[in-house]
């Protein structure tokens, strides 16, 4: 779908706090890579929504709900726990067959089997129990309904931390590894397709300075050269302030440490389509920073 229409609608009176993305001039100039990540996810979800009744769960500022409706959904309900976000979304993106309401994803209040598609981006890591939300999504979906859901990959974003450890992003309650995420989902859903976004090579993950290497690789490979006012640096600060001094250098090359030769081998970065969603069947020797699963409700799934 054409994303220009939603990108041209700006909420310039709303401050971006890193918790919920808004589309405005400040975000475009300072957090272009974050905006691209989010828009790419919704653009992918739009492939599944034509003629469907869709819930945009934790809709935030509402731009994703607008994209889903423009992609041909029968109607869209945007749900978010923030009354302020819902009010702003209603003013900016509300229109015929798009409704924004306040509510909790773990207890939505909708009838059983009400929606054909539930889209849940940047949600599950913000709530106390992913298992509860997965069960609620199953309950409100029609038979064989689709659950399109994303999660950061703790293997990359919080390397070596255990499940339940405090993660670096202050807005996240927890983060899954890939296998943990799939394990939770398959209690209620069958996996239709599995995608990754923003890939980190395995060699970057295999060092005693892994967190530093991940930060440097992310910054030099994925942060736009047009980002101004330190937006890219602010973006990766959530991974750990102590690493920043070691990470940000003038070099645009990446470092590959050769343990046998006990020295750094410098190579040119391979060409990567920045933030594009790629099916994990096509990926070898890399880890996604974000995991996106397209799931089908299991037949006869109990509530």
- pLDDT tens for residues 158-203? 888 889 899 888 899 999 999 999 999 999 999 999 999 988 888 7
Least confident of 137-141, 195-199, 240-244, 291-295: 240-244
pLDDT interval class at 208 (50, 70, 90) = low
**CATH 3.40.50.150 domain span(s) along the chain:** 4-200+275-297
In the chain the first and final C-alpha atoms are separated, in Å, by: 34
Check residue 25 and give its pLDDT: 93
pLDDT interval class at 267 (50, 70, 90) = very low
Per-residue pLDDT reduced to its tens digit, 245-264: 443 343 334 444 455 554 44
Check residue 62 and give its pLDDT: 96
Residue 98 pLDDT exceeds 90: yes
Check residue 230 and give its pLDDT: 43
Q: What percent of the chain has pLDDT over 70?
A: 78
Domain 4-200+275-297 has CATH 3.40.50.150: yes
Check residue 151 and give its pLDDT: 97
């Amino acid at each position: 779908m054409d994303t220009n229409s939603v990108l041209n609608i700006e909420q310039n009176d709303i401050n971006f706090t890193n918790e919920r993305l808004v589309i405005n001039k400040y975000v475009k100039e300072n957090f272009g890579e974050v905006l691209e990540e989010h828009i790419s996810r919704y653009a992918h979800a739009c492939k599944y929504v034509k003629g469907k009744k869709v819930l945009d769960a934790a809709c935030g500022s509402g731009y994703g709900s607008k994209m889903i409706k423009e992609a041909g959904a029968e109607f869209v309900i945007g749900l978010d726990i923030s009354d302020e976000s819902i009010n702003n979304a209603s003013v900016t993106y509300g229109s015929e067959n798009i409704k924004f309401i306040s509510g909790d994803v773990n207890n939505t209040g909708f009838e059983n089997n009400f929606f054909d598609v539930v889209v849940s981006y940047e949600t599950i890591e913000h709530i106390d129990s992913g298992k509860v939300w997965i069960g609620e999504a199953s309950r409100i979906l029609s038979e064989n309904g689709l659950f399109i859901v994303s999660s950061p990959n703790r293997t990359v974003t919080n390397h070596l931390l255990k499940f339940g450890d405090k993660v670096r992003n202050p807005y996240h309650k927890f983060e899954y590894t890939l296998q943990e995420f799939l394990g939770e989902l398959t209690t209620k859903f069958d996996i239709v397709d599995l995608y990754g976004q923003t890939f980190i090579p395995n060699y970057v993950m295999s060092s005693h300075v892994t967190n530093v290497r991940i930060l440097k690789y992310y910054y030099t490979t994925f942060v736009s050269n047009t980002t101004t006012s330190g937006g890219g640096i602010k973006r990766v600060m959530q991974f750990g302030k102590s690493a920043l001094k070691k990470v940000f250098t003038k070099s645009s090359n990446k470092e590959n440490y050769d343990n046998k030769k006990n020295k750094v081998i410098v190579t040119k970065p391979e060409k990567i389509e920045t933030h594009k969603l790629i099916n994990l069947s096509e990926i070898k020797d890399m880890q996604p920073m974000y995991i996106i699963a397209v799931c089908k409700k299991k037949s006869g799934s109990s509530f």
